[in-house]
Amino acid sequence: MSFVWGAATAAYQIEGAADEDGRVPSIWDTYSHTPGRVRDGDTGDVATDHYHRWAQDVETMSALGLDAYRFSIAWPRIHDRRGIDFYSRLVDALLERGIAPVATLYHWDLPQSLEDAGGWPARDTAYRFAEYAERIGAALGDRVHTWTTLNEPWCSAFLGYASGVHAPGRTEPAAALAAAHHLNLAHGLAARVLPGRVSVTLNLHHVRGDAEAARRVDAVANRVFLGPMLDGAYPADLLEDTARITDWSFVRDGDEATIAAPLDVLGVNYYTPTLVRPWNGGTPRATADGHGDGTASPWVGCDDVEFVRQPGPYTEMGWSIDPTGLTDLLLRLHRDHPDMPLMITENGAAFDDQIDADGRIHDQRRIDYLRDHLAAVGRAMKAGADVRGYFVWSLLDNFEWAHGYSKRFGIVHVDYATQERTWKDSAHWYRDHIAGRPFDY
């Protein structure tokens, strides 16, 4: 089998052109333009100007030797035919260079008009998403290799509606659980109308520590999606843990069967493991997960759990570097769902990259991170996990959500003042690594 090597990006983080060719505002336009929401007042208005520089970026992908490119389609952009044409040109250019287009339909940029009508806590949003999926599937379905319905719905639901550290910035625990369900429903509805191969990408948490604390976190972090998507039902312990928050009456007869649409591959995003322990309420609650300030937690139903800072080293995000968690996570998925092919759809690290006097970016720490995590993937594969590919996050430095432009994940450096692209050492390393075709068999 030929292992797929790729790189990933997201529309709002790289495209810019926020008000061009009929694009309408998204929740991230609103959020980033709200004072105090995003670091340094940064917005995605220009980002890395990929909307105008896409041809150059495709040439970079070709030079890297990528087999596939995972990008997202901006829902707010396809209200106009010119937006659809942009993605059509991009897909054609990828195919001309032998790069498989892997298109994500939702990477967090909900049209603001739908948020005004209730957002993901409203059931109607799932139906509007299915209409969007059907429209873009009809336009590009003859050329897109794999469709990904949602990227990291945990972030959309719980960072967006519980802790408020992502758009739309609401802090309503019951609404977050309703949002999670309607994201699940949107996935199931879209999967049934999209042509060709269908996937979903989850940022599954590898949770360690106290057994009961880990169970509670695993329920609201992982099984809230894995349960209905792969097993056809929400786990009973999740419903019990959150019964005081909501009665789950937003789940209607037939919803779970709709959500459990067949998948061709499950996308896995991994950056760091999660360490938890019980919280007795006697001291300030630890929030070392980095997802909130402790006043509004994304961990709905986990009020008696705290998140422990793990041993270093750390990335610039403050996340511990521990590739063993990736091996363990992949083997857990293989054990629980042995017939489900897996794909690493995001993995990477932010570091404080500097351009040296020689004009190079010597990001050895990122190379070490990638090498060690790829070795972790190899160990999981050797133990039986059916992993089909790996997408580095990210192709380019970009707008890193609430962190603005302060965190650089790219293997290609972007000077935000000039938009000049410069390969980091990690890009050269990744190119050479791909050329060796490891994991092919």
Cα separation, 197 vs 141, whole angstroms: 10
Distances (CA, A) of 161 to 64, 112, 174, 180, 291: 38, 14, 9, 10, 12
Q: How many CB atoms lie within 10 A of CB 429?
A: 18
Q: What is the 3-state secondary structure (H, E, C) of 270-315?
A: CCCCEEEEECCCCCCCCECCCCCCCCCCCCCCCCCEEECCCCCCEC
Half-sphere exposure at residue 423, Cβ-oriented, CA atoms within 13 angstroms:
14
Burial group, residue 227, by CB count within 10 angstroms (0-12, 13-18, 19+): buried
Tokens of 169: 């910035």
Those residues whose C-beta lies under 8 Å from the C-beta of residue 172, and which sit 6 or more positions away, are: 121, 161, 162
Burial class (CB in 10 A: 0-12, 13-18, 19+), 375: middle
Q: Which of 152, 256, 306, 400 is catalytic?
A: 152
Catalytic residue among 15, 115, 306, 346, which? Answer: 346
Other C-beta atoms within 10 Å of 311: how many?
A: 9
**E strand or H helix at 200, and its extent?**
strand 197-202
Of 178, 254, 191, 241, which is closest to residue 213 (Cα–Cα)?
241
Q: Is 400 one of the annotated active-site residues of the chain?
A: no
Phi/psi class of residue 118: alpha, beta or left (left: φ > 0; alpha: ψ in -120 to 50)?
A: left
CB hemisphere CA count around 183 (13 angstroms): 32
316 classed as catalytic: no
Q: Kindly list the catalytic residues.
A: 152, 346
